[in-house]
Structure 1
């Protein structure tokens, strides 16, 4: 049987738990004098809940802005999906404290007539915080680290390996009731003394949350020179490093915001300030072995990043109504990043003990098709390659449009321009072709191929004809078709057949789609057809009597660590085949560039290497 107050009574409601705010919303709407628009106590409660949630979210966003914080991170490991799921309902405490705030109204019925400001109230609150709140937190915190209380309550909070601002709210109801008493003591004292004010409530509560989020952020924000110049601050101001040591070692640094209580209690970790100095001074960025260079698809998808909403990024991308109000901010941010003309680190994970990073070229998908934007995009990609080369990165893989044939010849532009590159540039299309080919059933004797003269189309056609599979290649260019046909062995060239109309495939149930198909074109496929795809964006599934494959994707090995972001619309742990192609290139230690045309002879080699390293088709 679970210990009392060790779980939330509404934890089974999921997102429906927010219905619990309904009575407060109704009360706020009913009690507000709309003719004066004077906020009542109920409005203040709801506003505080919203602002407190915003503080936690903004601190989490800042902590995940790796392009700002990577050198100040205290624990270098990444947050994984397991931690994100565990902390999913971190905001349960806001509901609890909203109810407590509603109950407080009946003890302070004059709360609707509070003054905006009262300086004496601030003085009383600060005095009570130092003397009462800090002492109460320190003593109860130490108590929660003993025996029964730790096992049944506080161990949940310490089960989080990488503290983030959401970790500050992740605790049991009993702990939050105690924390509510710690936070409420100065406010209650000021009110009882007759010096309460609206500013005091907002300032103290939001300041309390701000500091707790800062301490759990896993990013050191306070410079060490501050404590060297004013040594007494070491005992008055906690730092994220100071608090992270408590999370790692558990039996030291128990104080709330003031280390002086650890000094008085004999629980100060002796290496707190040396560790703080080390974090502040070390600027050696961890060098990744592999980098995946992606780009933004559209404005809404730019919000699908850990530094926007961690939980949103941990699920496959879909457009959600809740993010649409952020569209103007996302557009403005991308323009700023575009003007800044630099790639940004957005996520990382560890595989086989080596760091793999994802860098972002801040360009929207439509920009890749603007003739005047070509040089600017290539310049950004080139700068990213040169930066990776200077850092000592082994392999850099180009995503989707970053390797567009008309843009840079699938990466050949950069390899030819910089023949002495140490970093290997990889488009990953060899594994993409391998995934598509291995999706095709072994008993298939005929395939209809659109986008047949593209880089992938050519490789797939040549590979299938070697397997003595008849390939109907849809193309209007006889010259391009003949060029590809001549690459096949003379005795197998008859397996490649040029067709110019979709009608030619009306009896073929295996379509490999590399060019967009509209509703009318899909109607030529016979019932029971399966559409394999390598077209971006994927085609719409208009036919209910047919099946549609997704873009070629691969599941990463089980031992991947620190992965917290889904790649576009894919599920957790799954990446596009071109991404995985770069991973295989790195794991194998291959020293050649994979750019330009696909080497058909290497399709099986890459496929077998992927399977050998634990990658599996999604």
Structure 2
């Protein structure tokens, strides 16, 4: 059987270059100076402006939908949006291109439409009546036909729209060309009615189309925004205005709630799901959600702060890198940083499910450089402490601290909070035991000698003690003989000879395995012999200046395949990969460990935690 008519987009293979289809309109607008009031092609500029505002409408609703710190209690479908759905909806705006071409064709075919007055208030009343009398019932009938008993139309066309598990504003655009052609025709009916009545206007076209888009995006946003008190005060209103809950029921149940925006037609057609109002009331009030595990992250810098789903969902679903389109957004992000500095509050930025248990990523509103300001230390610790106490009160089982949130100089790797609150039920975890395990398991078997910088840090100490017990010679780069001797005495007497203090980088000029826990300048890296591999646990990671050497990434692990609802990359890591300290918190929770993992790393537990991680399906990245 051949492909169904208008079931796929003709420009699917163009990728980003599909926007070239706007080229003739843009070229014509520039050539005719359409921005001038006397230009005969001013209508082209208005058309491009309208479609720019349409795209912005869906983007703003998407941003709102993904602001979990503000909306998570009123989400209708509780699952997160995963990578598969994001990829499926990547070209959600195809229908905007189609509608723009349809509108341009109509304006070319009927030149009189190009010269509408700016305003005519009568047109709004005519359009409202035409929408209720024509667009709504026809949309209802068409929608029911797509769900018809034979299932052919549904399978060929409408199943694509329902393939997204979690409704999102961009899901409104996930449909076949045939469906969007029909939608465009139905949208034009009220405008055509106003034109026939002699009261159409530019203001009406903008207002009606943008209101139409706003209602579609609102219905798909998966966050209940209509207060239940409004329906209690005006019961009849529930049949005039649908809600995100009402539409989400259709997405999950499929055989009920077919209306466009007005449930009145479901009432007349006998297709209302009677649970709709009770569910809407419940979602409007908010549903508390207690995660089992929380990873307490932090922002790295101003640019990286834009790498979150509520800024741009598609960008957040790819590993972070500085892109040109971010530059115009930098001033706004900087102002937000200042506001967050003043009004500090931990917020939820992502959530996912691992084996049916809810995991959340919270973020402390502090940026990387702020952790190194002496006067900011107390304020940062206060925010981390409040997050821990909030998690404890909620009933969270494990809270894991991200890189700088467990800095030794800041709070002793989390010991400050555990000592201050000895009765905590939530387990506080720095996750560095698994970080050490990942680094150690990257070192090739048979390695006889390594060079270690950051040797007296928490991770450096654990790595040195572990390797010396494996009879690997560890050159520990440190100027402090006292700190070196303290670590050396921790090793069993028969292994202490394998720990060697060095004070100059030239001492490692014949060692091809460098473990880097302290930033290395190009001058310092030059001492490494050709073929050296740099393993890293320094934040931020060192820059690879040597072409004759290889550079490892920060310790990370790939989450199990049964993770659901994960749709954002963790900083510059690949999809489904998290930093080892994050994975360490996950293992701590899955294993049901009852101890806090703070302060110094227990070297004897490195292999235990590593085996537990592998047992639960985590794999080194």
TM range, smaller chain: over 0.9
Change (3 A) 1:433 1:33: closer
Local SS of the residue matching 1:532:
strand
Residue 606 (structure 1) aligns with: 609
- Pair 1:309–1:125, CA change in 2 (3 A): same
CA drift at 1:111: 4.0
Please give the residue correspondences for 1:85-234 in structure 2 after superposition, counting only pairs within 5 Å. Answer: 85-146=87-148, 147-234=151-238
Equivalent residue of 1:70, what SS? helix
State yes or no: 1:417 paired with 2:420.
yes
What's 1:15 paired with? Answer: 16
What does the per-residue CA deviation read over 1:154-207, in whole Å, with 9 as the maximum and x for residues that have no partner? 111011111000011110000000100110111122123322211101100000
Give the secondary structure class of the aligned counterpart of 2:361.
strand
Which residue among 524, 527, 550 is the counterpart of 1:524? 527
SS in 1 for 2:273: coil
What's the secondary structure of 1:243's corresponding residue? helix
Point out the more displaced range, 137-146 or 167-176: 137-146
Cα offset, 1:12, TM superposition: 0.9
Is 1:329 matched up with 2:361? no
Q: Is residue 74–residue 283 contact of structure 2 (8 Å, CA) maintained in 1? A: yes
Tell me the distance in 2 between the aligned counterparts of 1:201 and 1:156. 29
Equivalent-residue separation in structure 1 for 2:327 and 2:110 (angstroms): 40
2:599 is paired with a residue whose SS is: coil
What does residue 387 of structure 1 align with? 390
Offset, 1:34: 5.2
Q: What TM-score, normalized to structure 2?
A: 0.98
Is 2:293 aligned against 1:290?
yes
Aligned to 1:546: 549
Post-superposition Cα deviations, 1:267-325, rounded to whole Å, max 9, x if no partner, equal 121222122122223x4411111100010000110111111111111111011111221
Aligned-pair CA distance for 1:48: 1.4
Matched with 1:358 is 361
* Distance of 1:49 and 1:197 partners within structure 2: 17
Partner of 2:83: 81
Aligned to 1:401: 404
Tell me which residue corresponds to 2:498. 495
Q: How many Å apart are 1:32 and its aligned residue?
A: 2.6
Give distance in 1, aligned partners of 2:483 and 2:557.
Answer: 31
CA distances 1:452-487 after superposition (whole Å, capped 9, x unpaired): 111111110110000000001111111111111111
* d(CA) in 1 for partners of 2:168, 2:35: 40
After superposition, where does 1:192-591 map in structure 2 within 5 Å? 192-281=196-285, 283-591=286-594
Distance 1:280 1:546 in 2: 57
- Please list every run of at least 4 consecutive aligned residues from structure 1 whose deviation after the TM superposition is greater than 4 angstroms: 33-39
8 Å CA contact 1:293–1:396 kept in 2: the answer is: yes
Structure 1 CA distance for aligned equivalents of residues 161 and 376 of structure 2: 49
Q: Deviations over 1:6-49 (max 9, x none)?
A: 00000111111111111111011122355548681111121111
CA offsets, 1:397-443, max 9 Å, x none? 00010001110010011011111111111101110000000000011
Measured in 2, the distance between the counterparts of 1:197 and 1:421 equals 64
Unaligned segments of structure 2, at least 5 residues: none
CA distance in 2, matches of 1:545, 1:263: 72
Match of 2:474, SS state, is strand
List aligned pairs for 1:53-72, cutoff 5 A. Answer: 53-72=55-74
* 1:267/1:34 CA distance change after superposition, 3 Å: closer
CA distance in 2, matches of 1:224, 1:426: 41
The alpha-carbon deviation at position 518 of structure 1 amounts to: 1.2
SS of equivalent residue, structure 2 residue 529: coil
Count of residues paired in the alignment: 617
Q: How many Å separate the matches in 2 of 1:602 and 1:270?
A: 55
Mapped to 1, the partners of 2:605 and 2:155 lie a distance apart of: 55
TM-score, normalised with respect to structure 1: 0.98
Task: Write the distance in 2 (CA, Å) between the matches of 1:384 and 1:416.
Answer: 16
Describe the shift of the 1:35–1:152 C-alpha distance in structure 2 as closer, same or farther (beyond 3 A).
closer
SS of 2:500 mapped into structure 1:
strand
Distance in 1 (CA, whole Å) between partners of 2:38 and 2:333 is 32
Counterparts of 1:112 and 1:341, CA distance in 2: 51
Structure 2 distance, partners of 1:385, 1:314, is 28
Contact 1:41 1:111 in 2 (8 A): no
> In structure 2, do the counterparts of structure 1 residues 77 and 37 end up closer, same or farther at CA, with 3 Å as the change threshold?
farther
Q: CA deviation at 1:114?
A: 2.4
CA change 1:166–1:219 in 2 (3 A) is: same
> Match of 2:515, SS?
strand
Compute the RMSD of aligned alpha carbons: 1.2
Q: Provide closer, same or farther for how the CA distance between residues 602 and 380 of structure 1 changes in structure 2, counting only shifts above 3 A.
A: same
DSSP 3-state at the match of 2:563: coil
* Partners of 2:274 and 2:389 in 1: CA distance: 43
1:108 deviates by 3.2
Q: 1:154 to 1:575 in 2, by over 3 A?
A: same
Secondary structure of 1:292's counterpart equals strand
